[in-house]
Amino acid sequence: MATIAITGGSGKLGRATLQFLQDRDVPPATVIPIARDLAKVSDLTARGFQTRHGDYTDPASLEKAFQGVDKLLFISTSVVGEERLRHHRNVVDAAKRAGVKSILYTSVIKPAPAAKFGAAPGHFHTEALIHDSGIPYSFFRNNLYADIIPFVFAAAVETGTLLHSAGEGRIGFVPRDDMAQGLANALVSASPLQPSYAITVSRPCYGLAEVAAALAKASGKPVQYESVSPEEFRRVLERRGVPEPGIGMSIAMGDAIRAGEFDASSQDLETLIGRAPIALEPFLTRLLGQR
């Protein structure tokens, strides 16, 4: 049986993928969760997984962790910019030196050399690194996690207004667990994988008015969407006491949504998991009920 390694094994997407692999009866001894801090995956070791130390900033640790790996699920690092590209170059170079046979990389729905969404260029350049490495690959181009909605739009439920500068832009929000199930199914697939998959909704994407309506039904409180200019959005965030880095990120996200950088539908994820991704309203109802 092929040996599977997962970078970011202590993270939420990595752990969810591991659980789906276990649900598919993949022997834990053939799966290698890789983490910078092994203490954070001690429970996985106890469950029989072959945990290994690997640090995106330490190429030698990555090369050692990748020894004997057939399939590498390369989960992108959380940093952005030049630091992200350094981390990712370390992973790709180490995978090549270690003789990894294939890479599944978690990219973004629309990677591009220049974009409003700050992470998109890093994903674009990482895809190029993987392509140029000569290692067979598949890019999982993920849309935004639906799981972030209650946190990014927390003020909406409190105030009754989802206020944003996203205009009429749309987003293909998908639950993290659906993405993880798709990854797990691809990792154990006996069929050749596509060079890329659009991991997004199979229906039309959601506008923020639909997000507001879903939040209202899930929370039992009235929530309406109000579109404002980036300048007004900045003033509102400043009045709320949001730190400048957070304001900048929020404004940039609005710019990216208006530019259509998350507006993409595809049947790819539905094909991988054998059903449509969970729709926003039932997902948020379940998520908010767990809080």
- With a cut of 70, say whether residue 290 has pLDDT above it: no
Residue 163 structure tokens: 């206020």
**Of the given ranges (64-68, 80-84, 217-221), which has the lowest mean pLDDT?**
80-84
Q: What is the pLDDT of residue 27?
A: 96
In whole angstroms, give the CA distance from residue 258 to residue 161.
19
Q: Mean per-residue pLDDT for 203-219?
A: 97
Q: Residue 249 and residue 232: Cα distance in Å, rounded?
A: 15
Average pLDDT, the chain: 96
Can you tell me the distance from the alpha carbon of 179 to that of 183, in angstroms, rounded to the nearest whole number?
Answer: 6
* 197 touches 138 (CB < 8 A): yes
Structural contact between residues 140 and 106, judged by C-beta atoms closer than 8 angstroms = yes
Choose the CATH number for 4-142 among 3.40.50.720, 3.40.50.150, 1.20.200.10, 3.30.43.10. 3.40.50.720
- Coil/strand/helix, residue 174: strand
CA gap 92, 82 in Å, rounded? 15
Q: Residue 81 — pLDDT band, cuts 50, 70, 90?
A: confident
pTM: 0.95
pLDDT of 1 > 80? The answer is no
In the predicted structure, residue 80 carries a pLDDT above the cut 90: no
- Closest-CA residue to 142 (of 255, 33, 16, 268): 268
Q: Which of 3-7, 91-95, 123-127, 240-244 has the lowest mean pLDDT?
A: 240-244
Cα 163 to Cα 225: distance, rounded to the nearest angstrom: 6
Return the pLDDT at 130: 98
The band of 233, judged by pLDDT with boundaries at 50, 70 and 90, is: very high
Does the structural domain 143-175+199-264+275-291 have CATH classification 3.90.25.10?
yes
* CA atoms of 151 and 166, how far apart (whole Å): 17
- Domain ranges (residues) in the chain: 4-142, 143-175+199-264+275-291
Whether the predicted pLDDT of 55 surpasses 70 = yes
Residue 51: phi, psi to the nearest 5? -65, 145
Predicted confidence band of residue 79 (pLDDT cuts 50, 70, 90): confident
Where does the pLDDT of residue 291 fall: very low under 50, low under 70, confident under 90, or very high at 90 and above?
low
Interatomic CA distance for residues 267 and 204, integer angstroms:
11
Mean pLDDT calculated for residue range 6-34: 96
Q: Could you tell me what percent of the chain has a pLDDT over 90?
A: 93
